[in-house]
Structure 1
């Protein structure tokens, strides 16, 4: 976890007589003058002094403010960083080589704008490299009781876990867009600084686990709002965090999330690879309930790719694991994955495989059994049921089911839920002369106008 200090940056800062806090403030002020929102803190500056990596745009900002202070032109190269005009920015999906690199990625990702959805293209080679790096990794190990200005205790860890639980409830109930910005602020100012503090071995292990949960939730909420590049960077950084304490179960969970995202974006080969990596990477280190989740994600990927044999094998494996779900103590983050959630995953599989009877059966079971506090999941399952009913020729029933989903989910700030609605509208609008279809379209317009007004 150690790197060589950045002697050039330290020397220039000493020459300019600027502190970590002073440099961070100058960088934020300069960015604000250009209309940008840069969240650089004194903690980030210290990491750069310690040798952590930096984004080219951030390095250019630092060079500019130090140039103004010293009244001579400086480049990022003068500060010990590659010149952004001479070196390409690191790839979106680049896997952090060290723990310090992971912190730098998470710090700088948190500073990026979160309110503009973005596209994502991840080269297969980057996906394979990240999976291989995680699979063969050895734990970095903690550095307990190291000298630091702040000491972390279990009370701090409990606070982080409480916040994670609160934000997760908001996510399930109102969609990722509701709490994402507040969660980013909390992660940057309350969680990341703890990772550079002093702690015991026991506290450090719990702390990194809690921090990974918050980081993963940040990725999930970004994904739900449609910002896939931001989400992928959070997931990649979080995956690297799990290496510190060799948390293979949570690392496999991150791989399954990456599979889910790739599947959603239509990258079937990547989704299958990541889903299988989650299963194999978590095997022997995960509870049966977790393994059921990982296998279900592989099934989702195979189904969307049209691989009925692979999907059937993965669903059978998920069922076998879930039958033993109560034989082990699960972490709190896995508490949502109950039988209704498994049925929800399976109904997506059968829908994508065009197996109408099975899709309707599993979707109805998921709708009937899903706790209303999981409003977004319930909305997804209702839309899968509606789509399956439509495929089965049950137009009136399909529109009625979709209408229930729209009415119950009209407060969801979720780009994914809106996509379910849009896809159903596209399919049902072949019946534009049908009165119930026209009423449904009007219902959707009303719901969207209310959402836009909030």
Structure 2
């Protein structure tokens, strides 16, 4: 369930160690008003929300939540669950875009470099929020940003230099929207966003986004159980990454997608070679900063992908070793990834030596990682697999505790 504006305010305030009075002095606003907002007794105005957001350094999170929950906002009716991107813009995303982006240029309006960089900051902020909360509560907003970027491309006035940058940033926002939609289980929306990003990246001659888009299409094909298609996408990503102009770390990602596809297809020799190439490219990557979306790409992530693939090929002892390293290597900032690998490690323990208690403890720890704030279809699907594997051992106290707890946290059936 999504947090209310009051709940977000309280979380942000406490995370910064501020009392109501201290925050009131910083805004400035009456601390009694802050208390009423936190307790759901008063809905804040847009101007007050922006002032509080700025005082907390929340980068728009509070404004986004307020815009989503605004009782005065007309609620559009969407005919079916198969939402199309234009319909999405009338919902949460449309309100969030209006609240967070610079003033929207109408037809013939002028767009400057500062407007485009503000959009790029929103891409970065959405990825940061994704690491903390998962894609379910964010994907509509990101789709709205992406649609707004397209509108700017089509209707605004800008210099050629600004236009090139806008095209590149629009592609990055589509990538972000696709990733968030995929994490929420909205695979049709994700594919549409990735395809749009790929087209814009080619127009902008942006090697990084082109590589990323092709790699994520490969990832999606793997998730949907089509390794042959994944190989084709990943090989195209590999070719894009080899072109001049990209970050050296980009060359790791196609190899990881290839490795997973080869594992799913039972091509063990090809899998081993892809993993060697991935680790070689990672070792050669220099110290240049990477964009926020790529910050996950560490030795721990490579261990996690190799361990996951080993599990899929029935190499349980190898999977236990590698997935254990992946869990240990993911800090709290990447709690969702850690939950994912803990859940897979639980399944690996069941396959390796039937260590039921260890598997149950790991699965239970994955729920701790989620901590009630991460809503991710990907993790939920993995946890459901752990439930199936552990259910026959319900007489074991640790298993019973996990199954009971998982039942109370379950988010329902996976969404396609």
TM-score in same-fold range (> 0.5)? yes
2:360 to 375, 385, 399: 399
In the other structure, the counterpart of 1:283 is 242
CA offset digits 1:11-36 (Å, max 9, x no partner): xxxxxxxxxxxxxxxxxxxxx99944
Map of 1:350 onto structure 2: 310
2:271 counterpart of 1:311:
yes
Q: Does 1:220 align with 2:179?
A: yes
Task: Measure, in 2, the Cα distance between the counterparts of 1:113 and 1:33.
Answer: 11
Distance 1:153 1:377 in 2: 37
Whether contact under 8 Å (1:114, 1:230) holds in the other structure is no
Could you tell me which of 177, 182, 186 is aligned with 2:145? 186
3-state SS in 2 of match to 1:266: coil
Distance 1:275 1:408 in 2: 30
- Call closer, same or farther: CA 1:295–1:435 in 2, change over 3 Å: same
Cα RMSD over matched residues? 2.7
Q: Secondary structure at the match of 1:403?
A: helix
Match in the other structure for 2:86: 111
Instruction: Map 1:119-268 to 2 at 5 A.
Output: 149-189=108-148, 191-196=149-154, 197-268=156-227
Residue 346 and residue 442 in structure 1: after superposition, are their counterparts in 2 closer, same or farther (change >3 A)? Answer: same
Does the CA contact (< 8 Å) of 1:293 and 1:318 recur in 2?
A: yes
Q: Distance in 1 between matches of 2:410 and 2:248?
A: 40
What SS does structure 2 have at the residue aligned with 1:177? coil
Alpha-carbon separation, structure 2, partners of 1:433 and 1:33:
48
- In 1, distance between residues paired with 2:76 and 2:408? 38
> What is the aligned counterpart of 1:375 among 326, 331, 335?
335
Runs of 4+ deviating beyond 6 Å: none
Determine which of 386, 404, 410 is the counterpart of 1:442. Answer: 404
Shift of 1:448: 2.5
Q: Describe how 1:32-111 pairs up with structure 2 within 5 A.
A: 35-36=77-78, 109-111=84-86
1:176 partner SS: coil
By how many angstroms is 1:331 displaced? 4.2
CA distance in 2, matches of 1:263, 1:114: 29
Q: d(CA) in 2 for partners of 1:173 and 1:332?
A: 13
Any idea what the Cα deviations from partners look like across 1:161-214, whole Å, max 9, x if unmatched? 11111111111111100212222333334x222212233333222222211111
Provide structure 1 residue ranges, at least 5 long, that are not aligned to the other structure.
1-31, 39-91, 93-107, 116-147
Secondary structure in 2 aligned to 1:440? helix
8 Å Cα contact 1:379-1:405 kept in structure 2: yes
Q: Which moved more, 1:313-322 or 1:439-448?
A: 439-448
- Which residue of the partner structure matches residue 60 of structure 1? none
Change in CA separation of 1:187 and 1:438 when aligned onto 2, cut-off 3 Å: same
Aligned length: 319
Give the Cα separation in 2 of the matches to 1:224 and 1:158: 26
Task: Please state how far the C-alpha of 1:449 moved relative to its aligned partner.
Answer: 7.2
Deviation at 1:332, TM superposition (A): 4.7
Are the counterparts in 1 of residues 89 and 144 from structure 2 also a CA contact under 8 Å? no
The Cα of 1:355 is off from its aligned counterpart by: 1.8
TM-score (norm 2): 0.71
Determine the C-alpha separation between the residues in 1 that align with 2:404 and 2:293.
Answer: 38
State the Cα distance separating 1:424 from its structure 2 match. Answer: 1.0
Is the 2:167–2:200 Cα contact (8 Å) retained in structure 1? yes
Aligned equivalents of 1:280 and 1:229: distance in 2? 25
- Checking the alignment, whether the CA contact within 8 Å between 1:213 and 1:333 is kept in structure 2 is no
Normalising by structure 1, we get a TM-score of 0.65
